[in-house]
Chains A and B, each alone.
Chain A
Amino acid sequence: MLRSFDSLALRQLLTRRLRAALTAFGIVLGVGMVFAVLVLASTIRHTFDELISSAWGKTDLAAVSKSGGQIPAGKLAELRAVPGVAKVSPMVGVMFRRLHPDGSAIKGAGAGMLVAGIEPDNPPYDFHFLSGSMVAKQGMQIDVEQAWAQKHGLRLGEAIAVATPTGRARLQIVGLFRFSKGLSFGEMGFAGISMATARQLSGQENGYMQISFQARDRSRVRELQQHLQRVLGSGVDVKTPQGFSDQLAKQLQGLNVVLYFFSGVALFVGGFLILNGFNMTVLQRMREIGMLRTLGATRLMIVRSVLLEAIMIGGVGTTLGLGLGLALSEGLIKMISSIGVPVGALQMPASALFIAVALGLVVTLLGALMPARRAGRIEPIRAVLGDAEIRRGPSVRRAAVGLALFVPGVLFGGSFWFSDSTQGSTLGVVGGIALTMAMFIGMTLAAPYLIMPFVRALSLAVRRLSPTAGRLATDATRSNPARTAATAVALTIGLSVVVVNSGISTSMLHTINRQIDAAYARDFTIQPLDQILGQSGQAIATPVAKRIAKLPGVGVVTPIRATVTQLPGRSSDSTPGLIMAVDPAAWGNVDHTPISGSTRAQALAGVARGGVIASKGYAAALNLHVGSQITLHGPGSSRRARVVGLLDAATTGMADSMQISLATMSEVYGITEDSQLAVTAASPAQRTQLGREIQALLARDYPNLEAASTAQVKSQIQSAVNRQFNLFNAILAVAVVISLLGVINTLAISVIERTREIGVLRALGSSRWQVRSTMLDESLLITVGGALAGILLGSVIAFFWIQGMDTFMPGISFAFPVATTITITLAAIVLGVLAAILPARRAARLDPIAAIAYE
């Protein structure tokens, strides 16, 4: 029983269940995506917290080289003497890779093991031994984290074959442990060996990767921290476990912002669906609303009734969205662990729940606000005149406002998102999001002018293909351009972001490929498997270079030693850059990266004297030029260095990068192991043979290494870039699905509106098939028109944004995303057909007699 006027809203909703469901689904997906991303972000954060606190449960402070290098071994005695220190536990880090029984390396992250070389009686971590009571004390003994061991079928007492930096080894599992909170490291394995064994297998003769401390008095940790920091110098970070956790979280902030933004796009499009859905419901219910007004309902009552409906749709949509979000977050977690971020068990904080619910309801209400106001303005006379739709031509003023909002986002959005000076900063994030959102709203306002030209152009083709059905479909889309555009614009926005995304990734890849082609004068790159230059310490032991140099047909073998860290002058939470050390005498033979500010020979001579070649983006951000001085801080020492040249390319894919000599790297950063080896053949004729020789050597003795041709290096970079962008595209795909629902909604209404027309057509002898094809044509006009506009806009945005990325990636130029464009166009056709299925069936099934009588 209807109890009050307000409960009418619920009744209305229940009678239009399918429509309500379609409208709500946009919110379900949008909220789902937002919630999934929030859950993902907090899961990652929680994983790091747990990882650090469970491993370092009893540790009060830890010291780690900022640049990933070694803390000099000589400091240890000095540290032990610091007052207030109860315990000092040093650690040597090394990476192993498990081998197949045939001796070849197992690929993929799951085969990697982070191995800590520790003093067995003085472990830096909270090991809880589950089986085996003895910590690996000597020789080829190893303790393995039990969850990982179980996953890979490793048992106590078994021997595992691994590739180490110095070659193959077999280690016997003598202990299985877990950390105090039982957390595992995700894909990677974690293991402990004795310090002596670690030194032997890693080839690191001295120095420590990390030193942990326990304080005598836990209330005076801060003082101790300052004291230790003074002893270790500015090249080393001394922090509490929480401090490291916070730092990691800050570094992930950039990724989070991008994820938030894309999920925001999905919700924005969901809000659009609400707007369109309610607009149409209101137009369709004009007679009814007019009647309510004649019965004495006030404007306010009508507005409230529409908003109530919206709240109910928003409430149901949001609730379902939360459920969907949990499922989506599982998928996202899989994707994000594929880009190398460790993630543990799902975390669902109350704040995420609150934000997702609040956003869902607010977006629904905002979407319904305009239609509600429009409903309130419906005159009582509509009760008599009926549901005549107010057909307005597109407003020029609206389009002008739209253009004004669109242009700044196009021109400056790129520099906010990617520029060196704003990237990662609050200003950059807020500015980037504000400009981009304004840009979308601008696109929406100007939509009729953007989309209708495409629809008109397509109309010509459609009418040629099917004169009758095409004509009717064309008229339907044109009779109300505002509505056609409103339907298509959701798709346009979703797809334009996809095109921007892939335009940027395509341009980046093209640029990197082009620059690698121009810069790489080497024939082979020897590198650890699955490893990007400079990232997390899997190294190549020194003997490898010597052994390759002895192979017949070798021209030059020269090492590259690299570390990823904040460059001098950058704050500790900014995006890290790459420090790359080369042998200035040999480097010119294997690398032709363009250098500006001086000649290559001069620059390399400068590097030999302790100078630095800086990347253009880094130099621009810190206002450096040839002749400027910077200070390098490392765990070994600090020293002034002169900028001797500027790198004109971004072959490493990092905005911040610099080149120094091997000597500087060792003295300042304590890094003495090779990250890569660049190898050339003595003559092109010997290249193939040399390649075979190297492969044979690596397969025999160093299965964790590979010899990649330049083409392979390029394809590795490509797949790394694609993995990252695919994550974004997965989120955007949800936005595209939402906009598709909008198209279905519009078409469904179109059928209802044209019931009489369809009846007349059927009475005049149109076949069901012809009616169907009219609906199909209309759907295609909307989806393909919207998609083409999206491609055009996306390309324009990507083109301009890339101009602002020059400091991020010097020499970047726009490359049109051909593959994406073709995919999107084909997808739009498929989507158009899919969207038409239900409405077309409904139209075709209309009984002509009843349809003609329909009012």
Chain B
Amino acid sequence: MRQTTDTVWYRMRMTRDRQGLALNSMDANASTAAAIELRGLVKVYGQGSTAVRALQGVDLTVAPGEFLAIMGPSGSGKSTLLHLIGALEQASSGEISVAGMRFAGLGEKELTRLRRDHLGFVFQFFNLLPSLTALENVYLPALIAGRRGEELQRRAMELLGRVGLAERAQHLPSELSGGEQQRVSIARSLMLQPKLLLADEPTGNLDSHAGGEVLDLLRAVNREEDKTIVMVTHDPAAAARTDRIIFMRDGRFAGQTPGGSTKAVLEFFADGHIAAQAQAHTGTSRAA
């Protein structure tokens, strides 16, 4: 049964994204490659008796253009999973490949490059530089990548327009509301046109209205610009806006459900699906 769900999900996505562009020229099968491929992922913090097994063997495939939510209680390993995908931390064992590129064997420099060129991050606390204006924050990644010129500012202005903040371009983060700051940070994550966006509780620090706006924006980016998005969230309403929701518990995959309505997500919790699926997946956790 497990195999069946995996395959169905994957095929569904692939059909929709057949027209997807090559993510990685290094990968001969780029057009057919998954956006994210995790195999047997284990992350252990600390050593000996104090060791904490944050991830205990996770498999996951995310199709290009998919909008995926990861849910789970605190300490379930959902953030760790996101950090490993974002190359912010290194896995203790297992394999990760993003856009057809395997992390194994990549050095510090290559990982930095990978983050810069292929990944966009959206954080719970926005992480805008307080000394830079909204506009400057948006084109900062391009400066880091060594690009210069008027073109950058034009592109950043476009992006600010895209997130509805063209008029706030010259404001400092401290002059913007939380929702506005998060929209600036989404614009920033799009500056270098990555194929994959990683969002860590993007609405966690926002009221429901601002949170709704941010989710609308992410959804639009996902649909219109064909970005693959992986989002960690606590909020069933936020998760419901995605294509698929996977649940984590104690470092393992604990079930999944398609997005749709908040009600459906809550029902999924209530019906004990998670527990049932988790039991069916003892050994390695797998979701694809």
Contacts and interface: CB of A to CB of B under 8 A. Distances in A.
B235 interface: no
Contact of B112 (A11, A287, A298, A384): A298
A3 B143 CA distance: 8
Interface in B111-129: 112-113, 115-117, 119, 121, 123, 125, 127, 129
Given A296-B112, A298-B112, A381-B88, 12 more contacts: A8-B129, A8-B132, A14-B131, A291-B123, A291-B129, A294-B121, A295-B115, A295-B121, A380-B115, A383-B127, A384-B83, A384-B123
15 contacts: A2-B140, A2-B143, A5-B140, A293-B115, A294-B86, A295-B115, A295-B144, A299-B108, A299-B112, A380-B87, A380-B88, A381-B89, A383-B88, A383-B121, A384-B83
Contacts of A15: 130-131
Contact of A288 (B79, B129, B136): B129
Contacts of B132: 2, 8, 11
B213 to A, nearest CB: 21
Task: Please tell me the size bucket of the interface on A.
Answer: 20 to 34
A292 interface: yes
Contacts of B87: 380
A855 interface: yes
B94 to A, nearest CB: 18
Interface of B: 79, 83, 86-89, 108-109, 112-113, 115-117, 119, 121, 123, 125, 127, 129-132, 136, 139-141, 143-146, 148, 153, 188, 192, 200
A264 to B, nearest CB: 35
A297 interface: yes
A12 interface: yes
Of the listed residues A2, A3, A8, A296, the one surrounded by the most CB atoms of chain B closer than 10 A to its CB is A296
Interface string A288-321: 1001111111110100000000000000000000
A404 B245 CA distance: 61
Contact of A383 (B113, B123, B145): B123
Of the listed residues A3, A12, A384, the one surrounded by the most CB atoms of chain B closer than 10 A to its CB is A384
A4 interface: yes
A15 B143 CA distance: 20
B119 to A, nearest CB: 8
Contacts, number: 84
Contact of A296 (B123, B129, B144, B148): B144
Given A291-B127, A294-B88, A381-B83, A4 B148 contact: yes
A379 interface: yes
Contact of B88 (A287, A297, A384, A386): A384
Given A4-B143, A291-B123, A298 B136 contact: no
A819 interface: no
A77 interface: no
A1 interface: yes
Given A2-B136, A383-B88, A384-B200, A298 B109 contact: yes
B144 A384 contact: no
Of the listed residues B86, B112, B113, B192, the one surrounded by the most CB atoms of chain A closer than 10 A to its CB is B112
Interface in A720-756: none
Contacts of A301: 144
Given A294-B86, A296-B116, A384-B83, A855 B141 contact: no
Interface string A1-43: 1111100100110110000000000000000000000000000
Interface of A: 1-5, 8, 11-12, 14-15, 287-288, 291-299, 301, 379-381, 383-384, 386, 855
Nearest to A300: B109
A291 B148 CA distance: 20
A606 B113 CA distance: 90
Contacts of A3: 143, 148
B234 to A, nearest CB: 15
Given A2-B136, A384-B83, A297 B125 contact: no
A296 B131 contact: no
Contacts of A294: 86, 88, 115, 119, 121
A295 B129 CA distance: 12
Shortest 10 CB-CB distances between A and B: which pairs? A296-B116, A15-B131, A291-B127, A381-B88, A2-B136, A5-B143, A295-B141, A11-B131, A380-B88, A297-B144
B160 to A, nearest CB: 14
B79 A384 contact: yes
A386 B115 CA distance: 19
Contacts of B127: 287-288, 291, 383
A664 B203 CA distance: 100
A2 B192 CA distance: 17
Contacts of A295: 115-116, 121, 140-141, 144, 188
A381 B87 CA distance: 9
A20 to B, nearest CB: 12
A17 to B, nearest CB: 11
A165 B123 CA distance: 90
B113 A296 contact: yes
A8 B131 CA distance: 9
B65 to A, nearest CB: 23
Nearest to B118: A296
Contacts of A380: 86-88, 115
Given A295-B144, A296-B112, A296-B113, A1 B131 contact: no
Contacts of A291: 121, 123, 127, 129
A3 to B, nearest CB: 7
A766 B148 CA distance: 52
Contacts of B89: 379, 381
A1 B153 contact: yes
A706 B171 CA distance: 79
Nearest to A291: B127
Contacts of A288: 127, 129
Contacts of B123: 291, 383-384
A305 to B, nearest CB: 10
Contacts of B188: 295
Contacts of B86: 294, 380
A520 B109 CA distance: 79
B123 to A, nearest CB: 6
A3 B188 CA distance: 16
B112 to A, nearest CB: 5
A855 B204 CA distance: 14
Contacts of B115: 293-296, 380
A12 B129 CA distance: 9
A8 B128 CA distance: 13
A380 B114 CA distance: 13
Contacts of A12: 131
A11 B112 CA distance: 24
Given A287-B127, A296-B117, A380-B88, A5 B153 contact: no
Nearest to B201: A384
Contacts of B200: 384
Contacts of A292: 144
Contacts of A2: 132, 136, 139-140, 143
Contacts of B88: 294, 379-381, 383-384
Nearest to A853: B205
A855 B131 CA distance: 17
A3 B86 CA distance: 28
A293 B125 contact: no
B113 to A, nearest CB: 7
A14 B132 CA distance: 11
Nearest to B141: A295
Nearest to A5: B143
Contacts of B117: 296
Of the listed residues A8, A288, A295, the one surrounded by the most CB atoms of chain B closer than 10 A to its CB is A295
Nearest to B172: A15
Contacts of A293: 112, 115
Contacts of A5: 140, 143-144, 146
A12 B113 CA distance: 24
Nearest to A6: B143
Contacts of A14: 131
Nearest to B140: A295
